[in-house]
Amino acid sequence: MLTIGKLASLTDVSNDTLRYYEHEGLLEPAAKSPAGYRLYDAASTRRIRFIKQAQQCGFTLSEIRDLLVLRSRDATCCGDVRKRAIEKKLQIESKIRAMKAMSRALDQLIADCANEKQPVKECTIIAALERANGARRAQRP
Amino acid sequence: MKVELFYSPGCPECAAAQARLRSAAEEAVRDLEWREVSAVEQIDRAVDLGVLTLPSIVIDGELVFTSMPSLKDLRVALRERAGRK
């Protein structure tokens, strides 16, 4: 059995993160010591590596909890997990598009600001952002 | 009317449900163009249409259902749109 500190060092996460995982229902100690300290088994190490890998693929902790439930169910087939992976890819691709649009908008603002020595009151970037803010306010009923 | 059902390939339950949805759609409207689209093969089109969850149903280019609808809900949505034309 592993203490929380040992598990944290084996998996390269902090003790606080492990407690947070427990709070979020992602991890449970296998037992408690007579003094009341959390004790973890080898499966906990695998579980934390799974959580970290899934986070790197963009899954939220709530989605990872669902994946862990799927992983433990006998009736789950690979298609169930694949569906979630495809949905995550759709969400990531959609975010990439939104970020690219933001990047293009910034390109335009940067290009419009030809004179970087102008005083801030004449800054075209700030003026454009203020105009956008004003336009949004005007659209409100 | 063009109906595109975006699905995750390899889901046996979805395949059975898709067949039922198609029959319901065929009953509901006459000029039906039914397409079953793999979200893996057509990810760009799926993202264009705002599909983020599977299955999703797009009717005439509009994302209408973001999960599997009941047969009744699909019929209602199709008839409403057919009535507008």
Q: Does B54 touch chain A (CB under 8 A)?
A: yes
Average pLDDT, chain A: 89
How distant is the alpha carbon of residue A6 from its chain centre? 25
Q: Which residue has the higher pLDDT, A112 or B20?
A: B20
- Whether A16 shows a pLDDT value over 90: the answer reads yes
Per CATH, is A1-76 categorized as 1.10.1660.10?
yes
- Scored b (16 or more CB within 10 A) or e, A10-20 reads ebebeeebbee
Mutate to test the interface with B, among A81, A86, A97 (most CBs of B within 10 A): A86
Q: Which CATH number fits domain B2-80: 2.60.40.10, 1.10.10.10, 3.40.30.10, 3.40.190.10?
A: 3.40.30.10
Edge to edge, the sheet with strand A38-40 lists A2-3, A38-40, A31-32
Tell me which chain A residues have a C-beta less than 8 angstroms from the C-beta of B54: 83, 86-87, 90
Q: Report yes or no for ipTM above 0.85.
A: yes
Which residues of chain A are within 8 Å of residue B11 when distances are taken between CB atoms?
79-80, 83
Q: Please give the share of chain B, as a percent, with pLDDT higher than 70.
A: 95
The predicted structure's pLDDT at residue A76: 73
CA atoms lying within 13 Å on the CB side of residue A51: 22
Q: What is the pLDDT of residues A51-63, one digit of tens each?
A: 999 999 999 999 9
Predicted model pTM = 0.78
Mean pLDDT, rounded, for A6-28: 96
Top-confidence residue, A134 or A99: A99
Question: Is B12 touching A (CB cutoff 8 A)?
Answer: yes
Confidence of residue A137 (pLDDT cuts 50, 70, 90): low
Percentage of chain A lying above the pLDDT 90 cut: 62
Which pLDDT does position B12 carry in this prediction? 67
Where exactly are the structural domains of chain B? 2-80
CATH 1.10.1660.10 segments of chain A: 1-76
| CB < 8 Å to A93, chain B | 43-44, 47
Please judge whether B53 and A93 are an interchain contact, meaning their C-beta atoms are less than 8 angstroms apart.
no
